[in-house]
Chains A and B, each alone.
Chain A
Amino acid sequence: MSRQPPRRGLAERAAEFAREWSVPRQLRGADHRREAAEAAISRTLRPRLEEADRVGTSICPYCAVGCAQLIYARDGRPIHVEGDPRSPVNQGTLCPKGAATFGLMTSPMRLDRCLHRVPGATAWREVTLDWAMDRIAHLVRRTRDETFVKDLPDGTPLNHTLGIASMGGATLDNEENYLIKKLFSGGLGMVFVENQARV
């Protein structure tokens, strides 16, 4: 889990040492501070935010306070996430979770492939996104058709299925929740649609 500093060869290190060793310079100037002691890295040092080719406005993905963030990216990858200093909610600050947003986006434990577990299997297998989508759509149709109830014996309409449930939504966008409710409830007739609001 550690992020290793870059490792370099002995020759490279020795050459750099000779070049950047500041003691002779300091002896000449007799001042072991600032320019006299400054090494190459220090002279060229800049914050990596300056390497960003894209800055985007974002909102912290953890709690509901709604702290604004700026995401700095280069070549399609995040290079850092910080509090947005403009925001009246957080004024640039972030809590320990919000401050870890960059670590969340780049967590070594992140998943980037679809996994599938066959009934009774003891391990995952990798599947394509397209295969998973197709299979899920067919399972939804099968389960819905097997469990859909149109009305009660007395004719009271139900138009629902109790056979499929959905959990989650509080971490998602409003637009995503809208699509979930619209498709699952308004389209498929699912009634077990719940998110973390009660948890």
Chain B
Amino acid sequence: MPQWDLANSDCVLVMGSNMAENHPIAFRFVLQAKARGATIIHADPRFTRTSAMADIYAPIRAGTDVAFLGGIIRHVLEHDLWFREWAIPYTNIATILGEDYRDAEDGDGLFSGWQEESRKYSPESWQYEGVTMPSALAESYVDTEGFCEATKRLHEGPPPRDPTLQHPRCVYQVMKRHFARYTPEMVERVTGCPREVFLKVCEALARNSGRERTTAICYAVGWNHHSTGVQIIRSGAILQALLGNVGRPGGGMLALRGHTSIQGSTDIPTLYDMLPGYLPQPHAFKPHSTLESYLDAETSPTGWWRNFPKYAVSLLRAWYGEAAAPENGWGFDWVPRIVGDHSQLPLTVAMRNRIIRGLFVMGQNPVVGSSNSLLVQRGLADLDWMVVRDFAETDTASFWRDGHLVRSGGMRPEDIRTEVFLMPAALSGEKAGSFTNTHRLLQWHDKVVPPPGDSRSEHWFVYHLGRRLKDLYAASEREEDRAIRALTWEYPVDDEGEPDAEAILQEINGYTWPDRTLLPDFEALKEDGSTACGCWIYSGVFPKPGENRSRARRPDGPEGPGTHLGWGFAWPSNRRTLNNRASADPEGRPWSERKRLVWWDEAKQEWASPDQIDFPKDKRPDYEPDWSRKPAGMDAISGRQPFIMIPDGVAGLFVPSGLKDGPLPAHYEPVESPVANPLYGQSISPAAKRWEHADNPVHGTGDPRWPHVLTTFRLTEHHSGGTPTRLVPTTAELQPEGFAEIPTELARALGIRSTDWVVISTPRGAIETRALVTDRLRPWRLDGRMVHQIALPWHFGWVGYATGDVANVLTAVVGDPNTGMHENKALTCALRPGRLRRAGGAGVAREAR
């Protein structure tokens, strides 16, 4: 949902986010909603500047979000508070599961399909009765027996449903059973949130949902950074789908992302597992050896993703130009295959294991930002070479001189063989280009001034590196060098050699091949090689020469309508609210005047809205597929199914494919937790990613050596890895030094006062920092004993005006099974007053226990 749409919310639940601090301008719209009478709720382990502005603050122990949200889901189902008329047609709540499914309730925390040897789930038993569902992700393929054939059943009719919800295997009944034990008492026991506060939250959400009212959920990395991160977000999505808060004004899930174009770098992924536009990177161990088998495995029979081949072939044409031909799968044969998880966490382990020898770091500071910083610093020292590009010297660039290991005597610069380049980079006003913000809005920025000295944009750097490499490989006859030789790399450059960013955006938008006429939209893409498109979801951003829609700067005036279609360009096709067909009832009428956004105009025979419709514009609400003709793609989606990217057109409360840790969210304790799971014998997520390494020890549940919960957080005064704020005087002075928040009771017990030095340690390492004693953290009474929680801001390092030890020295390389994201929001630690002994060859600073 657009951020400004929060002003239309009747209730905003901020959870997994410290929104007022980390996204203050988005929070502006929350306060606009509040001024109109909306209820603001903050559920968080810490009382923050966000909590201070809330009507209800619900304290929860770090890492217990699924228990809290599961409790709300139970409350809503048990008391029949969900939005029945919305959820029955628009979700899979009535869909019937196959007979083989066994819930975690029956497996003491394990769902059916768990394979102990490989420590993985097989989703075979999670399927609908008689229907194998491809994943709703672009990564459609699921590794099950006869997958491709089995999914063809979707051409024959929708998955079986029981709209009366009486069938014992319909999703409604399965969910009711699954969440039955998530009672207010259990929520209090697991999360520490007082029962009466929890119930207030339930009531506020239910009261502010339905035909006339909508609730929004805002989350951020406070949800992601857990071994159960994806299932936490799923819990929020289930709740919103039950309450009908999707695709409607003031309703939805707003992911508050951290970096200016982190959404753009996910859409056009500098990520290992995807190609631009959420197409899967080919995998050596999936049926991806040829383009034909790749398209066959990854194309969903029904829904919008049926268009997948058009997007894949057009991307290949954009990359390989003339060299792309049917005989080489339009160049697909050259695209590198992944063989496993190559994401951030295993990347750092691979450096340490000498698999990676050369590293580019462009605008990132992994020594501060990546889990287990000592492992990262050792890994950097194991490289042959590293290129750091940033606007100043970063902690990562200077690890060999000032790093924690050098300081503690564990390493000498003279012994570090890494060749390091530090190259000055241009900032946004010093180069032209587009950023994609957290609500999918592409916004252009101009080059207003030249970057100082030798500073260059990454356009410049990558373009010229590519030119040099193409020269180096120009004479090669080797098959493995075909890709670099074939790569299209012709971009106009200016006097300084800077490539024209608009020319690159035009390639991303797409054009006809070979005459290069810009495409109006992704609907013009073809799978026969006659179109080239660098990222299909961005198509339409540059529909004509001279029309860069990311640079559009036309806001809506006082009369509205408030969708601001003339400001920037939102992918796809400038749609501001996704799934907005759901803002109308099945017959196409708005659920209420108050929450009007999209409606069927019978006279014009099309959908009408102040927004762009996220649905076929002329598909009647009463359209039904003719199943006798085995419809494919969008022909198989009825006029009442708003979720066009999902093969059966409805929101998945229960997810048959695509998740690696279960079809429904279940509460698991963090991998390092002070207590065992009160809900299941399976205490931690069985599928959580673990990387065994001598530098990455992880301890078990309830280890008395590490008695306190440790959570990490970010401050409004600093940004992420800290480089762009610790090096700026006006922000650095606001939070000038690292510190740890310590609850008053624990500080008193240990004789610690504010600004005293303390040492915090985990099995990975120890840091020293200053204490900030505060009542904003509270002790938790868990199963009869007190558990304390310490909180560490995460931005500090040795570079800049504001410095402090790196919090990530303490964290472990442990992650979510679906995303590979780390679990730095909930782990355990030890605390003592005092300082670390430093230097003198004492080796790595590690607390002896």
- Any A–B CB pair closer than 8 Å: yes
Q: From the candidates B431, B462, B734, name the one contacting A179 in the complex (CB within 8 A).
A: B462
A13 interface hit (Cβ, 8 Å) = no
Contact (Cβ within 8 A) B392 A110:
yes
Interface residues of B in 443-492 (CB under 8 A from A): 443-450, 452-459, 461-466, 468-469, 472-473, 479-480, 483-484, 487, 489
Complex contacts, A54 vs chain B, CB 8 Å: 448-449
A79 to chain B, nearest CB (A): 10
Contact (Cβ within 8 A) A65 B356:
no
| CA–CA, A165 and B345, complex, Å | 12
Complex contacts, A86 vs chain B, CB 8 Å: 553, 555
Complex contacts, A164 vs chain B, CB 8 Å: 356-360
A50 interface hit (Cβ, 8 Å) = no
A156 interface hit (Cβ, 8 Å) = yes
Contact (Cβ within 8 A) A159 B343:
no
- Taking residues whose C-beta sits less than 8 angstroms from the other chain, chain A's interface range is 35 or more
Complex contacts, A177 vs chain B, CB 8 Å: 261, 264-265, 268-270
A30 interface hit (Cβ, 8 Å) = no
Contact (Cβ within 8 A) B337 A170:
no
Binds B, one of A4-12, A15-23, A33-41, A91-99: A91-99
| CA–CA, A86 and B443, complex, Å | 13
| CA–CA, A168 and B345, complex, Å | 14
Nearest B residue (CB) for A108: B729
A188 interface hit (Cβ, 8 Å) = yes
Q: From the candidates B401, B422, B436, name the one contacting A111 in the complex (CB within 8 A).
A: B422
| CA–CA, A78 and B428, complex, Å | 12
Chain A 128-154 interface 0/1 with B at a Cβ cutoff of 8 Å (1 = within): 110011111111110100111010100
| CA–CA, A171 and B334, complex, Å | 29
Contact (Cβ within 8 A) B424 A89:
no
A100 interface hit (Cβ, 8 Å) = yes
Interface residues of B in 407-428 (CB under 8 A from A): 413-424, 427-428
Chain B 347-375 interface 0/1 with A at a Cβ cutoff of 8 Å (1 = within): 10011000111111111101001100000
| CA–CA, A56 and B446, complex, Å | 6
B809 to chain A, nearest CB (A): 15
Contact (Cβ within 8 A) A58 B719:
no
Complex contacts, B105 vs chain A, CB 8 Å: none
Chain A 160-199 interface 0/1 with B at a Cβ cutoff of 8 Å (1 = within): 1111111111111111111111111111111111111111
Contact (Cβ within 8 A) B720 A196:
yes
Provided the pairs A1-B729, A117-B419, A172-B362 are in contact, do residues A178 and B276 lie with their beta carbons within 8 angstroms? yes
Interface size on B, residues (CB 8 A): 162
Nearest A residue (CB) for B363: A171
| CA–CA, A157 and B345, complex, Å | 25
Q: From the candidates A108, A141, A163, name the one contacting B469 in the complex (CB within 8 A).
A: A141
B429 to chain A, nearest CB (A): 4
Complex contacts, A192 vs chain B, CB 8 Å: 272, 342, 347, 350, 356
Q: From the candidates A1, A114, A129, A199, name the one contacting B801 in the complex (CB within 8 A).
A: A1
Complex contacts, A27 vs chain B, CB 8 Å: none
Provided the pairs A87-B567, A172-B261 are in contact, do residues A97 and B719 lie with their beta carbons within 8 angstroms? yes
Interface residues of A in 25-77 (CB under 8 A from B): 54-69, 71, 73, 76-77
Complex contacts, A66 vs chain B, CB 8 Å: 260, 435, 437-439, 441, 443, 568
Provided the pairs A1-B729, A177-B268 are in contact, do residues A163 and B355 lie with their beta carbons within 8 angstroms? yes
B585 to chain A, nearest CB (A): 29
Contact (Cβ within 8 A) B336 A190:
yes
Contact (Cβ within 8 A) B428 A87:
no
Complex contacts, A57 vs chain B, CB 8 Å: 444-446, 551, 553
Contact (Cβ within 8 A) A65 B422:
no
Contact (Cβ within 8 A) A167 B362:
yes
Nearest B residue (CB) for A123: B401
Nearest B residue (CB) for A143: B358
| CA–CA, A188 and B472, complex, Å | 12
B746 to chain A, nearest CB (A): 29
A18 to chain B, nearest CB (A): 36
Contact (Cβ within 8 A) A198 B727:
no
Provided the pairs A66-B435, A111-B393 are in contact, do residues A170 and B261 lie with their beta carbons within 8 angstroms? yes
Chain B 722-734 interface 0/1 with A at a Cβ cutoff of 8 Å (1 = within): 0011011111001
Complex contacts, A196 vs chain B, CB 8 Å: 258-259, 262, 265, 364, 369, 720
Provided the pairs A65-B3, A165-B347 are in contact, do residues A186 and B271 lie with their beta carbons within 8 angstroms? no
B241 interface hit (Cβ, 8 Å) = no
Q: Is the interface of B mostly helix, strand, loop or mixed?
A: mixed
| CA–CA, A192 and B836, complex, Å | 36
| CA–CA, A199 and B220, complex, Å | 12
Complex contacts, B289 vs chain A, CB 8 Å: 156-157
Complex contacts, A14 vs chain B, CB 8 Å: none
Complex contacts, A175 vs chain B, CB 8 Å: 433-434, 459, 501, 504-505, 508
Complex contacts, B473 vs chain A, CB 8 Å: 141
B682 interface hit (Cβ, 8 Å) = no
Complex contacts, B725 vs chain A, CB 8 Å: 97, 100
Interface residues of B in 362-391 (CB under 8 A from A): 362-364, 366, 369-370, 384-385, 387, 389-391
A19 to chain B, nearest CB (A): 34
B22 interface hit (Cβ, 8 Å) = yes
Provided the pairs A140-B469, A162-B356, A167-B362 are in contact, do residues A112 and B260 lie with their beta carbons within 8 angstroms? no
Contact (Cβ within 8 A) A63 B258:
yes
Nearest A residue (CB) for B799: A109
| CA–CA, A71 and B430, complex, Å | 10
B341 to chain A, nearest CB (A): 10
Complex contacts, A71 vs chain B, CB 8 Å: 429, 446, 448-449
Binds A, one of B175-183, B781-789, B818-826: B818-826
Nearest B residue (CB) for A103: B728
Most chain B Cβ neighbours within 10 Å, of A73, A181, A199: A199
Provided the pairs A59-B428, A175-B508 are in contact, do residues A94 and B25 lie with their beta carbons within 8 angstroms? yes
Q: From the candidates A96, A110, A170, name the one contacting B424 in the complex (CB within 8 A).
A: A110
| CA–CA, A109 and B420, complex, Å | 19
Provided the pairs A158-B337, A176-B457 are in contact, do residues A163 and B437 lie with their beta carbons within 8 angstroms? no
B673 to chain A, nearest CB (A): 22
Contact (Cβ within 8 A) B259 A171:
yes
Complex contacts, A132 vs chain B, CB 8 Å: 421, 423
| CA–CA, A5 and B50, complex, Å | 38
B732 to chain A, nearest CB (A): 8
Contact (Cβ within 8 A) A195 B268:
no
B296 interface hit (Cβ, 8 Å) = no
| CA–CA, A100 and B437, complex, Å | 19
B23 interface hit (Cβ, 8 Å) = yes
Provided the pairs A59-B428, A169-B363 are in contact, do residues A112 and B333 lie with their beta carbons within 8 angstroms? no
Nearest B residue (CB) for A56: B448
Complex contacts, A184 vs chain B, CB 8 Å: 360
| CA–CA, A99 and B484, complex, Å | 42
B535 interface hit (Cβ, 8 Å) = yes
Provided the pairs A65-B437, A183-B487 are in contact, do residues A167 and B465 lie with their beta carbons within 8 angstroms? no
Contact (Cβ within 8 A) B284 A158:
yes
B708 interface hit (Cβ, 8 Å) = no
B150 interface hit (Cβ, 8 Å) = no
Provided the pairs A111-B424, A191-B336 are in contact, do residues A174 and B434 lie with their beta carbons within 8 angstroms? yes
B524 interface hit (Cβ, 8 Å) = no
* A-B residue pairs, 3 tightest by C-beta: A112-B453, A66-B437, A173-B433
5 further contact pairs, Cβ within 8 A, besides A109-B727, A193-B342:
A101-B429, A172-B261, A173-B431, A174-B433, A192-B356
Task: Write 19 A-B pairs (CB below 8 A) sorted by A numbering.
Answer: A62-B260, A63-B258, A84-B553, A88-B555, A89-B3, A89-B4, A109-B800, A111-B424, A116-B419, A137-B472, A148-B480, A160-B339, A164-B358, A165-B347, A171-B261, A185-B275, A186-B319, A192-B356, A196-B720
